[in-house]
Structure 1
Amino acid sequence: MGSHSDALGWLNSTSEFLDGETATLRRGHHSTTVTVVRGSNKPKLMSQDGQAYVELEHQEILIRPSQYSFGGIKHEPLPGDRIVIGSETFAAVPYISGEGCWRYTDQFKSHYRIHVQLTND
């Protein structure tokens, strides 16, 4: 089991190094700079004036629990938290299943998997 744990840790750190983006995490008037990895997208097919297009309605963002802090105090994600990546702003939203807006990515609790929706507010 030790080698499996080591391999998973390596994979997570490699993903963050290769795919990580700098983002700003906001809750109310608090903010902090973090590294995030974009997770899966859930496309929504739309039609407007006879033209079909794909809109990315929901997606998941991965972040290390140790980075999810404001003023040096660690927190868990809450619905309404904002994650700003470049010019895009995402809001943490609950899953339709009612399980909250986040869950751990794996049994080792290496990252939060936060369910978000593009808001650009």
Structure 2
Amino acid sequence: MADLLRQGAQWLEQQRTTCCSSPVAYRRPPDSVTVNATYGKTDVEMADESGLTVRSHVTDFLILASELGFGPKQGDQIVADGRVYEVIYLAGEGPWRWSDPYRTTFRIHTKDTTPQSEP
């Protein structure tokens, strides 16, 4: 019998990529590749030096592993909608984690490093 859960998850990932993603440039100098990505976010909580809890979030990009073709690394860049995002190391997860149980989609953690224009 076919693995219906796996087939369903793969179908959903393909639908997400087809219907809910945009082309982005994934850069690992000197190379750049165009892939389809969906925006996401991961909430993070950390204590500062005085013991106060700081809550924030990082911008994630969901990209099919087969489309990217290699594992994301800290320092890589994703250029999307005119903004530059740098792949960062997230404590406890690293620069990425699998977004699904069948390991078809990377959830890549980034921070926006686009230079701010002066007013």
TM-score surpassing 0.5? yes
Tell me the residue number matched to 2:5.
4
Q: CA RMSD in A?
A: 1.9
Give aligned-pair identity as a percent.
24
Q: Which has the higher strand share?
A: 1
- SS of 2:5's partner is helix
Partners of 2:107 and 2:57 lie apart in 1 by 16
Q: CA deviation at 1:111?
A: 0.6
Tell me the residue number matched to 2:64.
64
Aligned counterpart in structure 1 of residue 75 of structure 2, from 71, 74, 80: 80
Partners of 1:100 and 1:41 lie apart in 2 by 13
Contact 2:96-2:109 within 8 A present in 1 as well? yes
Contact 1:42-1:59 within 8 A present in 2 as well? no
Tell me the residue number matched to 1:102.
96
Q: CA deviation at 1:79?
A: 0.3
Contact 2:66-2:104 within 8 A present in 1 as well? no
- SS of 2:74's partner is coil
Correspondence 1:115 to 2:116: no
Residue-by-residue CA offset, 1:42-82 (whole Å, 9 max, x unaligned): 49xxxxxxxxxxxx8512111111222xxxxx421000100
Tell me the residue number matched to 1:22.
23
Q: Which amino acid aligns with 2:98?
A: Y
Tell me the residue number matched to 2:87.
92
Residue-by-residue CA offset, 1:31-50 (whole Å, 9 max, x unaligned): 0111111122549xxxxxxx
Contact 2:20-2:38 within 8 A present in 1 as well? yes
Partners of 1:90 and 1:112 lie apart in 2 by 16
Partners of 1:20 and 1:29 lie apart in 2 by 25
- SS of 1:4's partner is helix
Q: TM-score, normalised by structure 2?
A: 0.77
Stretches of 4+ aligned residues off by more than 4 angstroms: none
Residues paired across the two proteins, number: 103
Partners of 2:12 and 2:57 lie apart in 1 by 27
